[in-house]
Amino acid sequence: MPKRFDVRVTIVGRQVFAAAIDSQSDLSASIDWRLTDNPALPHHAVTLPESLTANLIRLMECLGLTFGAIDLVERPDGEFVFLEVNPSGQWLWLDRMLDLGISEAVADWLTTGGTA
């Protein structure tokens, strides 16, 4: 499938943090961004369409999850394709690269028993 970016969405409670991974800038990452050896693979924060954000939160509620790492593909036409949700997915590298505030959200979520 042609893609513009891979997108990692971290949901903590009802907070949504999204980052685009420029996997297409590195041939080894073009199919699966995790295959790159480039620690500087470009990432940037993105704002998802409101309808997509609402659907992702609804999915989490249906699955009974208050935390999840969701992988999407953004196609060249701007449409998003859902790949998976991981209830224990990685997120710290995003906070280190982009300072999205995920660490603070996770700390709040943990100290309030997953209700934040």
Overall number of domains in the chain:
1
Q: Is the pTM of this model over 0.85?
A: yes
- Domain extent, residue 58, equals 5-111
Please report, rounded to a whole number, the percentage of residues in the chain having pLDDT higher than 90. 78
Q: Is residue 85 part of a domain?
A: yes
CATH code where residue 60 lies: 3.30.470.20
For the residues 92-100, what does the mean pLDDT come to? 95
pLDDT, tens digit (0-9, with 9 covering 90-100), for 20-65: 999 888 887 788 888 888 878 899 999 999 999 999 999 999 999 9
- At 31 the pLDDT is 84
Q: Is residue 103 part of a domain?
A: yes
Confidence tier at 100 by pLDDT (50, 70, 90): very high
Q: Is residue 116 part of a domain?
A: no
Residue 37 Cα distances to 9, 26, 28, 32, 71, angstroms? 22, 9, 8, 12, 20
- At 116 the pLDDT is 59
If one counts every other C-beta atom within 10 angstroms of the C-beta of residue 15, the result is 17
Please report, rounded to a whole number, the percentage of residues in the chain having pLDDT higher than 70. 97
